[in-house]
Amino acid sequence: MINRVLSLVLACVLTGSVFSVRAAEPVPADIVDSLRKMLESPANGLKVSTVEHSEIDGMYAVQLVDGPLVYANRSGQFFIVGDLFTVGPAGYVNLAEKRRDGQRAEQLAGLSPADMIIFPAQGEARSHITVFTDVTCFYCQKLHREVPELNKRGVEVRYLAYPRSGLASEGYRKLATAWCADDRADALTRLKNGESMADNVCQGSPVADQYQLGQSMGVRGTPAIITATGQMIPGYQPADELMGTLGLE
């Protein structure tokens, strides 16, 4: 069984150049309609967002709204929930996660920098990371102490709010206080250092929207670090390790 699976995966690698051409082609409308008819379930809140060619001939990558990526056959009668892997020069590659990388990068590109709390790189910017953060999270506080070193090495740090205990939590109120401050960066730093500040939850705060965005992108804890290419790094990494992850050693 394992040998058959590996043979199929290897076949995907050998036909990769063919797929790269086909992937850019839109899926015929009749197939999209068929997949929507079979897979959508309004009663269960299931709705198809996008349909694309997958790396396996005859199977389609179907992204559900606020749901998983599934792989379905042409009719939609059969589908698989789970990640698709291939074998590359460096070993196993999660193709489903690669798709999610692109989606995350596209979503973040649509955000306004004015809604973020940004700690810019010193000198020439070499890259950036976007971090979903919560001021009550120990490892978020620890990562924040690494920000000056990251900035020094040319990495811009862009913060988005993610109150891990939800929108009725103390974490939400503290994050809103930072985002509603005149000097957001200073307020965020003070709160992460454990300083006490009066709650200031102003109208128009983007905290709730950023929390919802994080959930839609698969954030389940903080810090959640997303690279410029959309790769998600769940959890804390020290500056030295993170520079290696970014390929900037």
User: Catalytic site residue 180?
Assistant: no
Given a contact cutoff of 8 angstroms between Cβ atoms, the answer to whether 152 and 242 are in contact is no
User: Catalytic site residue 12?
Assistant: no
User: How far apart are alpha carbons 143 and 132 in whole angstroms?
Assistant: 11
Alpha carbons within 13 A on the beta-carbon side of 54 = 26
Q: What angle do CA 86, 89, 95 make, to 5 degrees?
A: 25
User: Catalytic site residue 140?
Assistant: yes
Given a contact cutoff of 8 angstroms between Cβ atoms, the answer to whether 84 and 92 are in contact is no
Write down the catalytic residue from 99, 140, 153, 158: 140
Write down the catalytic residue from 12, 134, 153, 158: 134
Given a contact cutoff of 8 angstroms between Cβ atoms, the answer to whether 58 and 74 are in contact is yes
Write down the catalytic residue from 99, 100, 153, 164: 164
Write down the catalytic residue from 99, 100, 137, 158: 137
Provide CB contacts within 8 A for 190, sequence distance 6+: 197
Given a contact cutoff of 8 angstroms between Cβ atoms, the answer to whether 160 and 132 are in contact is yes
User: Catalytic site residue 22?
Assistant: no
Q: How, if at all, do strands 59-64 and 69-73 pair?
A: antiparallel
Known catalytic residues? 134, 137, 140, 164
